[in-house]
């Protein structure tokens, strides 16, 4: 398709109305659970990749503070971002194609909407969020928040993080193994005193 529906419109008012309608459809699509749920799962499933950085920045109240140039990002962070970006672009591309547009036209129209005096604060926020979604620093900030949640859940015992060290039998027998299970909150039905 060489021209989009937008290009076929002959007046500025018609183009503005089209952009407003497109913005509302995009908001509806992008704020849907089907769209957001994919990314929530991705963030949650990949939070561990950013756990070390989150531990270093647990005392920051704003995650923007840890997006400083002095933070060294490893290859796994960038690989995770590339996976996210590919998923984001392909998910959004489905909507853009349904609209009979290209990604470049779509983002240009969203950017042009920011100049529209009729735009609401919610619409402006949506545009800012959508445009920032392809930005590494924004992604990093979200992943640090998710990693902090993961750390808190692990510390609260809500998520099992695995044993901190491998148990080995002691010279007295297998009591050391049973004690390790007790540390994990596993009850073998027999009290520790009764085993001794």
Residues in the chain: 196
pLDDT score for 10: 66
**Is the pLDDT reported for residue 69 higher than 60?**
no
Listed in sequence order, the residues at least 6 apart from 72 whose beta carbon sits closer than 8 Å to its beta carbon are: none
Listed in sequence order, the residues at least 6 apart from 167 whose beta carbon sits closer than 8 Å to its beta carbon are: 176, 177, 180
Which of 35, 45, 136 shows the shortest CA–CA distance to 88?
Answer: 35
* pLDDT tens, position by position, 21-51: 888 899 999 999 999 999 999 999 999 999 9
Which of 58, 81, 86, 72 shows the shortest CA–CA distance to 144?
Answer: 58
* pLDDT tens, position by position, 103-147: 888 888 888 888 888 888 998 899 888 888 889 999 999 999 999
Question: How much is the average pLDDT of 60-70?
Answer: 51
* pLDDT tens, position by position, 141-192: 999 999 999 998 888 877 655 544 444 444 444 344 434 334 434 344 444 4
pTM, two decimal places: 0.66
Dist. CA 3–CA 1, nearest whole Å: 6
Could you tell me the two tokens for 61? 């109240």
For CA atoms 90, 96, 101, 107, the dihedral sign is negative
Choose between 84 and 70: higher pLDDT: 84
Choose between 58 and 8: higher pLDDT: 58
């Amino acid at each position: 398709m060489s021209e989009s529906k937008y290009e076929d419109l002959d007046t500025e008012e018609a183009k503005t109305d089209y952009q407003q309608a497109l913005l509302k459809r995009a908001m509806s699509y992008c704020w849907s659970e089907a769209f957001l749920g994919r990314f929530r799962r991705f963030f949650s499933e990949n939070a561990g990749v950013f756990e070390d950085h989150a531990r270093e920045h647990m005392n920051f109240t704003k995650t923007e503070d840890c997006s400083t140039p002095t933070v060294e990002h490893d290859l796994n962070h960038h690989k995770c971002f590339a996976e996210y970006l590919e998923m984001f672009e392909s998910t959004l591309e489905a909507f853009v194609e349904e609209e009979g547009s290209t990604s470049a036209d779509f983002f240009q129209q969203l950017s042009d909407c920011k100049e529209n005096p009729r735009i609401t604060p919610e619409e402006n926020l949506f545009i800012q969020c959508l445009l920032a979604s392809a930005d590494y620093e924004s992604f990093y900030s979200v992943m640090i928040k998710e990693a902090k949640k993961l750390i808190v859940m692990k510390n609260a015992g809500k998520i099992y993080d695995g044993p901190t060290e491998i148990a080995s039998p002691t010279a007295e027998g297998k009591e050391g193994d049973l004690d390790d299970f007790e540390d994990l909150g596993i009850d073998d039905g027999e009290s520790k005193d009764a085993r001794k």
